[in-house]
Structure formats: structure tokens, C-alpha cells
Structure 1
Amino acid sequence: MVTMACSYLILFLHFLLLLNFIFLSHATSIYDSFVNCLTTKSIPQSEISKIVYSPNNLSFNSILQAYIRNRRFFNSSKTSKPAIIVTPTEESHVAGIVLCTKEIKLQLKIRSGGHDFEGISYISDVPFIMLDMFNLRAISIDVNDETAWVQAGATLGELYYNIWMKSEVLGFPAGVCPTVGIGGHVSGGGYGNMLRKFGLSVDNVLDARLVDVNGRILDRKSMGEDVFWAIKGGGGASFGVILAFKIQLVQVPQTVTYFKVERFLDQNATDIVVQWQNVASKIDNNLFIRLLIQPVTAKNKEKVEGAEDTKTIRATFIALFLGDSSTLMSLVSKEFPALGLTKKDCFQMRWIDSILLWANFDNTARPEALLNRTGDSLLFLKRKSDYVLEPIPKDKLESIFQKMISLGKVGLVFNPYGGRMNEIPEDETPFPHRAGIIFKIQYSANWNESGLVAEKDYLSQIRDLYSYMTPFVSKNPRQAYLNYRDLDIGTNDQGPHSLEEGRIYGIKYFKNNFNRLVKVKSMADPQNFFKNEQSIPTQTHSIHAKWTRKYRRMFQSR
């Protein structure tokens, strides 16, 4: 019996070695085919060897993991590694990469910063090539025109720093996390703490450079207004490879004011949140007040022996005011008195320094810290989103807070709208969430514990809270923000029902703009080469399926 068991073990080990040999042989074959193709696209062999990485390359894993921002997909069985990683250093490289990926019939995944919360820029269920844009991060600032060209692989922090180096009175309305990549952030909308004054990032895009499905490098004029419209909020990865955006910079005052104020339930936090809902989207456009709602443990202040710490809600109000603290104090005292803001809560500074505080750097950090592309330590995380059109009544807020306390591990981020967002029509860009919205919700779950048990617990909690919030948020559709990527709301297997599957999540992300996005996609990429789990589908698959069903019925009726 022992001998037989050993024989089975030896056979099994031989089988594993055979599978590994087959995999490596297949990977080598793909690599050779891809490299040979690139040489036919006028890319010198000396350049190819520096930008193309197979799994056998010693740098492969470090490049792959460098921009994975979610530990759920880091060194995990869920992480289906790419067959090849390509890190172009020239725009012409990207054109060749697109054409050769098509020729060897693989999927192309495009990564600019890796902050897509579901990791779809670097994982896939099918063999794929990952195009990582981190080497294409040039930034050119024109102070006279107040414009800039920014390549897709640059981070927001690098953009902010480069603007500051040229001018202390220019800025750009974009996100508060400095390690986010420009390509994904801007093409998905680009939400930040100056949107009430200046709108979204996409509302300040003047031009773009894009590699299309035919390997052409196009600008706004040559791609046409339909495609240019589509990549300003419709997700660039559905239409091509974003190389760069030309953006309109905005004027910021030499002095801005920041505050961060915490209130707990026993400090009338619920009443303050009620007033925030009625004020934050209507107050002066120069003021943005973000609200974080988090379940926390309140320490036993009296230190009574045997008494347990109690669970409560902490409401944190974080603000950027484009002006001085005296003006801010006067404004908040009049419009938002429940907050109880004091002068000592307010800190005047340069705009660039406010960027550092919003990014959770301490007040001793220098602007050079924004050049760090790696960011904070890696967490396991999940995000979801919602939009609120009517204030949530006090009794309902109380029930939400109690629900959060009972769950214990999920936070909410309320981001106010109003101002410039009310002035821009829903169809001006694919991003439709405009007038009528009071605030956007981000559901946030972060954890450090590894393993499926912890993941199941946190995912269950965030989905539970999302379900509980259904009566209080937008309906028909229940809207969602593309850059808070959430595969729970629908995915696409790119099969014969692609259009129907795409409509499920597409309507939530884009409302009626989804229909125009499908038309643009069908025109620009009719064979659906640029695709992912939540990409814009073409009409072709649906039409093909319709005719297939029609002829099947005709055949069966005979």
C-alpha cells in the first residue's frame, strides 16, 4: 500500500511538472510571438528588451505588484497574472502594443495608477497583456495659457507639484489621493474638493491624445468630438489607450483655509449632520465640506471599574475654503451654526499645503512628498457608491447610525454637490450625476486581516449597509460613480448578451448617456477589442444574438 501511494505521489508530481512545463512553454510562445510582432512595428529590439517582461523575467513580479493598491488582489489566488507586462516609454510603443496584442488575439488591460478598486486593470479571467503606463508621465505646464499637458501615467501628486513649481495661484480640480493615476481618474470623471467651484476634472479637459484600435495616435480633432466626449467620463479604457490630457488650470487664491472638526453622538452629531445636509450643497461655492461617518468605540471617560466602552458614531467634517479664515468663520457661523466652528479650528495655508493635509500628511510635510508614487501601506478594501437627492430625515439618520454601530466595520463618506455641478447639463459629458444631487456617498471598508473569513465578513457588512440604504438614495436607476468601481452592480462576460449585461451597470454609471456611449463604442471599436468586466459594449454582439435566435426559430419551425 505504501509503495502504491508513493507511486501515485510520484505520478502526481510528474503531472504538476508537466502542467508547469506546458504553461511556461505557452507563455514563452506568447512572448516570442508578441516580441516578433513588435519588431515589425518599427520598434527597435534594443527598446523592446527594456519594456517587455515575461513571467520568467526577474522584474516581472515587482512591476506587477508596484501599482496594486488593493491587498485583496496582491499575491492572491484571485490575481490572474498577465502573460506579458509592457511598460512603454514612447507613444509609438503604445501603438505597436495595441496592434500586436490584436494580432496574437489576447486581451489588453491598461493600468495608469492601479487605484481601480476591483483591480480590473491588472487581473482577468482570460489570458491578457498588461499595458502599464507608469513610464509615460511627462507634465508640461504653460503658465501664460493656464493649461497643461499631462501624460496618463502621471499621478495627481506629480501634477499638483508641477503646477506649484510654476505658480502658487494655479491649481486643478481633481482627487485628494496623490498616488492616483491621471489616465483612469480623469477619463472616469475626476471628483475632488474644488468641484463646487470648478466642476470635475473632465469639465476642464481641452484636448487629449489617444491610441485607437487601429494603432493611430489621435488628438481631439482627428478622433472627432464623439470619441472626445466619450473619454471625458465614460472610461477611456473602453475606447482606446489614453496617452495624455490637455487640461485647463484654474486660479486659486494665495490663501486657502482648512479645518477638520470631529463630533460624536453625545455632542449632537446627528443634529449637525441634519443641518449639513441642508447646507453643504447650497453654501458658498468656494467652500467644500466633506463628512466622514464612522462607527467607533468611545472610551469610558470616568474609568468606572467593570464598565464597558460604548460604541458610537464619529462625524468628521473636513473642509477646504478658497479664501481666508475670517471670511470662512463669518460664512459658517451664519449658514452652518450647528457645527460650532471656532477660529482655532481654522488653518490658513497655501493651496499646495492643503493638498498635503487632505492626503493625510502631517503639517510638517513638504510639497516634495507628493512625488512619492507608492503611497500608504496596502490595505484590503472594498468600495461602493450612491447618490442622495433628498435630505435624510433625522429619525432615519439615527436608524442608519445604529445600523452602522451594529455592523461595526463600515464607514460612509458624504461628498457635497451643488455650485458649478448644478450648472452643467447631464449630457455635456458621459458623467451624468449633476443637478439635483445633494451629496454622493462612498461606502468604505478597510481591513488588515488576511484570509477568506475576514474578507467574507467585511464584504458582507458593506453589502448589508448598502442594502439598508436603498430607501434613502437615488432610484430608477440607483446611480453609481464609475471611479468607485464596484463589480457588485453588474459585470459583462463579453458574450452574445454583452449589450444587455452592459446596460445593467451602464445605466447606473451613466444614466441615459449610456446609449450614446454604446453608439460611439460601436463606431470607434466595432470588434470590441478594448474591453473589461465593466466596459462599454458594442451593439454588434446583441444584433448577432438577435439574428441567431431568429434563424434558430426559423429552422426549428420547419
Structure 2
Amino acid sequence: MSLLNRLALALLVSCFSFHLISVPSLAYSDEFHQCLTEMIPSELVYGQSSSNFTDVLASSIKNPKFFTNTTVRPVCIVTPTNPWHVQAAVFCGRWHGVRLRVRSGGHDYEGLSYRSCQPEVFGVVDLSNLRSISVNQGDSTAWVDSGATIGELYYHIAKNNSQVAFPAGECPSIGVGGHFSGGGIGMLMRKYGLSVDKIVDAKVVTANGELLDRAGMGEDLFWAIRGGGGGNFGIVLSWKIQLVRVPPQVAVFSIPKTLEEGAIELLTKWQYIGPSLPNDLTIRAKVQGQQAVFLAVYLGTCSSLVPMMDRLFPELNMTNADCRSMTWLESVALSYGSLAKTGTLEEVLLARGSSLSYYTKIKSDYVQRPIASCSWKNIFAWFKKDGAGYIMLEPHGGFMRTVSAAATPYPHRKGVLYVIQYITFWQGDGGKAPTSWLASFYDFMGSYVSQNPRQAYVNFRDLDIGQNTVGSENDVSSFESGQVWGERYFMGNYRRLAAVKAAVDPNDYFRNEQSIPPLRQTLE
């Protein structure tokens, strides 16, 4: 297709009203594929008949249960290397009635960025080739593409200046695009907030193919993409982030405690002090088997951390021998638990690719009232059962208390003590016991966690809490069906997200089983 024809098609598609470009139920995948190869270099487009389609599809899949012969797969994968390729994919998709899902190359707990739960013709835009990171030391900002990983971002920031960092997650292989889109909790959030609290600009391709920055998209859409979940409002290509200061050396410790060593009493106390510690100190707790492990990062020295712990949490009996001093970058690798295994920062932080060794299932909860010690005894009993996994408890408080629930779509701020991530895993066909254990344990925990609604974290995506239904008349996801899961992720922000969806994507072009439906009343 000539440049003139490309521009004509782009103008035609972008000028059509949303109502005229509704997506038919029967998509024309052959024409879609042909359109893509005419507008995008053919080596960046992989149809199902391509010899390496399967390898490209599997390149960032972390859970083999979404990579089976029964998985509904995309008809085509586009791997763009510049914004025009993404715009062209949207133009072709809208023109030929093929919806797009987008993945940034990291984690996806339910696989919704590359698979469908129902028979459907769709394409995938894989952003893993868009992964540049540009740091501006003058104003302590950086532009990072959605296809980069958190590990790559941390590494490149620190290589420019080891005393600069960014608040985001603990796992280096998380993709930037999905992580930022859901909020971005991590070890620095008590000091500096979520990832989205430090995003100052972004570039997004909308449902009609426009490429917009913050000024062009407006504040409503800019608000929505910073925590409203991935794959909802467009394809975010890159993010401008505000970097934060960290000291030359931080202090870390990892202290395991068995039941005989007082794990229950320590967890009970941790619930009170974890969210109220000085903002420079974050202590997570991991519960597995019959022990709890307390994992800390302190933006200071061991010489000041040890007496602080003796004063604020003496029951843990932390000593100088427990404390290690290292750079912030090294603490990230250590928090992930891999530095000792590989030996180099590069191997831990820059590793990419799929991992199909373990099947997993994840769920989440928020705790607003401390759980009593007698209840912790009952909780620990669950970790003796067949199929058990573990839970990770991450404290809020600090900076998180200073931000209103409506400031970003992530509403779990003031009043939250900590978030629970439930994880179970297995190999081969042995998933019945672990998934049954997790479902039963989650039900058991219902009386101890937030209620009305029972809150959940959108980046720990969980289809068990609800899925969209699509109206037969207008082929648009139902606002009411989305409410079932949407208010658990976003609480009072769900309606505003749906209103933004109606304004920027009223025909629900970008959608999945848990995407924000348009609040169509706003169009009347």
C-alpha cells in the first residue's frame, strides 16, 4: 500500500463516527492479515500459518495453562517497532472488524492479553520490541516504553545514577505497560506511592488510531490509564515518569520465624506496626508452611535500622547479623530472591522470556482491620493441607494515606493495612488439589478482609470474581456485569472509568473478559 493510500485509509478510519465502525460478529481475518502486511513490514506480522507463530505467542507466557491445544489464540500477532505500526494495526482491525488485545511482554495472571475465554477472532499487538528507556538527569524524569520490563527500567535508571530509582514492583520480569496500567505497588510505595503516582505524561493510540500525549488525550483519559487496568482505553506506547531519590546504600533483612519461635504473635504485631513504621522502612511478610518470613528494605543504614527495630519491633529480635547493606538496585534483585542463585544483577534484572515450568493461580484481598492471633492459628492450619501455596502480605500506610481514593483509579489507599497476594502453583496435571485449596482458603478468609465490596487488586487479575457479558443488540460489554468485578478492583472509581470508556471507545473495540465497559448513558 502506498503512503498516499495509507494516509487516506488513516484519515477515513479516524473520521468515521464510532457508531459507523461497529465491529461485526464475524471477522474477516484474511483481509485483516493482508491489510497488516500492506501497512507493516511483513516480518513483524505473524499469522497462525507462520512457522514461528507459536514461538512468538509463547515468548512471554508465564503460565502453561494458557498455552494448550484448547486455548483460543489470536489469528495474528503484530510486533511493532514504531508508533505508526500500532496505529496501522488499529486501522486494519477497525476496518476489517478484528478486535485487538495488547501485551507488553511481562506477566498476565489470566492471560487476557493474548488469549480469549470464548471463541473469538482477535489479533494481538505485542509491544516487546518497543522497550526503549531514556533518562533525563536534568529534571530526574525518564521516558519508558511499555514493552520494557521493570527490571530493565530499574537497571537503566541506576546505571545513569545509582541514587535515583522509581517506585514499582518487586519482580523484574513484570512488563511496564501492564504494571503501570494497574497501579504498580512495590517496596517504595510507603515512601513515594504507586508507580502511577509518579507518571507525568504518556503516549497512547486510541480506538480510532490517533496517537495522543497527555495534552492531546485530556485529563480524564490520562487519569484512567494510570491504574484503570490494561487493555481498556487504547494502547499506551510509552510513559514519562518522575524519578525519586534513594541513598547510596540501603539496609535489608530477611528473618524467618517458625510457629515455635512466635510467628503468630509476630504477625499479629506486624499488622499494627507495618503500616505505621517510618516511611523509609517497608517490611513485608511471607507466610508459607509453618513459618512467616519478614522481609525488609530500609532507605538508610544498618547502624540506624537495628536500634530502630529494637525500639519499634523488639519482638522480632533483629540484630546486626541479620542486616545487610547494599545498593538499591541490589536490593531489588535480592527482594526477588534470585541474586544468590545467579550471581549477577544483569542476569536477574534483564532476563526476559517465557517460563512454562509451573502452573499458577493468584487471588488477592485487602485487610483493613488486624486479624486476631487466635485467627492466625486457624490460618496456619491451611498451610498443612494438600495443595497449599503461600501468601505475601504487603503493607500500605505512609505515602499511601496521603492520596485520596479518587486521585487515580487505584482506590485502596487510606484505611488499608496491607494487601494479601495468594499464590498456589503446581507442575503437570496436578492442578486439582492446589486450585481447590486456594478457592477454599480464599472463601475461609472472607470474614477477615475488606467487605462490601471485597476488594481486589487489578494487577492480580482474577476471573473468579466475575466476567463481562456482552449485549446481543449492540455487541458492547454490559456495564452491570462489569460492576460485579469492577467495583472490587476500583470501588467508587468504576463508574468514572466506564464514563471515560464511553467517551473514548464507546463501541467497546478494546475489550476482554474483564475490560471496562462503556457507560452508555453518558452518550444520551
Q: Is the pair's TM-score, using the shorter chain for normalization, greater than 0.5?
A: yes
CA drift at 1:38: 5.7
1:555 aligns with none
Alpha carbons of structure 1 residues 123 and 96: separation in structure 2 relative to 1, 3 Å: same
2:119 counterpart of 1:119? no
The equivalent position to 1:252 in structure 2, one of 243, 246, 270, is 246
2:433 aligns with 457
The number of equivalent residue pairs is: 491
Q: 1:520-531 alignment to 2 at 5 Å?
A: 520-531=500-511
2:480 aligns with 500
Question: Greater CA radius of gyration, 1 or 2?
Answer: 1
2:516 counterpart of 1:516? no
CA drift at 1:456: 2.2
Deviates more, 1:361-370 or 1:424-433: 361-370
Contact in 2 for aligned 1:114/1:121 (Cα 8 Å): no
The equivalent position to 1:425 in structure 2, one of 388, 404, 421, is 404
Distance 2:492 2:108 in 1: 24
Contact in 2 for aligned 1:87/1:132 (Cα 8 Å): yes
SS in 1 for 2:436: helix
2:457 aligns with 481
Contact in 2 for aligned 1:385/1:442 (Cα 8 Å): yes
Deviates more, 1:490-499 or 1:315-324: 490-499
Distance 1:256 1:182 in 2: 24
CA drift at 1:460: 1.0
Contact in 2 for aligned 1:38/1:97 (Cα 8 Å): no
Question: Match of 2:280, as an amino acid?
Answer: N
Q: Residue by residue, what CA displacement relative to the aligned partner does 1:43-65 show, whole Å, maximum 9, x if unpaired?
A: 3xxx5211111111111111100
2:346 counterpart of 1:368? yes
1:416 aligns with 395
Alpha carbons of structure 1 residues 376 and 120: separation in structure 2 relative to 1, 3 Å: closer
CA drift at 1:377: 6.1
Contact in 1 for aligned 2:286/2:294 (Cα 8 Å): yes
RMSD: 1.9
Distance 1:113 1:261 in 2: 33
Q: Residue by residue, what CA displacement relative to the aligned partner does 1:371-405 show, whole Å, maximum 9, x if unpaired?
A: 11127663100000000001001111111111332
CA drift at 1:37: 5.5
CA drift at 1:236: 3.8
2:144 counterpart of 1:150? yes
Distance 1:178 1:31 in 2: 38
CA drift at 1:338: 1.1
2:38 counterpart of 1:61? no
1:72 aligns with 65
Q: 1:202-241 alignment to 2 at 5 Å?
A: 202-241=196-235
Q: 1:3-14 alignment to 2 at 5 Å?
A: none
CA drift at 1:406: 3.1
Contact in 2 for aligned 1:35/1:48 (Cα 8 Å): no
1:193 aligns with 187
Distance 2:225 2:288 in 1: 35
The equivalent position to 1:535 in structure 2, one of 500, 515, 518, is 515
1:51 aligns with 44
Distance 1:408 1:343 in 2: 37
Contact in 2 for aligned 1:149/1:246 (Cα 8 Å): yes
CA drift at 1:331: 1.1
Distance 2:387 2:121 in 1: 39
Question: Match of 1:519, as an amino acid?
Answer: A
1:181 aligns with 175
Distance 2:179 2:185 in 1: 8
Distance 1:513 1:64 in 2: 33
1:30 aligns with 29
CA drift at 1:28: 13
Distance 2:522 2:202 in 1: 32
2:82 aligns with 90
Question: Match of 1:368, as an amino acid?
Answer: E
1:378 aligns with 357
CA drift at 1:321: 0.6
Contact in 2 for aligned 1:31/1:84 (Cα 8 Å): no
2:325 aligns with 348
Distance 1:37 1:417 in 2: 45
- Sequence identity, in percent? 42
1:104 aligns with 96
Gaps of 5+ in 2: 1-25
1:162 aligns with 156
Gaps of 5+ in 1: 1-26, 296-312, 548-558
TM-score (norm 2): 0.91
Q: Residue by residue, what CA displacement relative to the aligned partner does 1:275-300 show, whole Å, maximum 9, x if unpaired?
A: 111110001111111101012xxxxx
TM-score (norm 1): 0.85
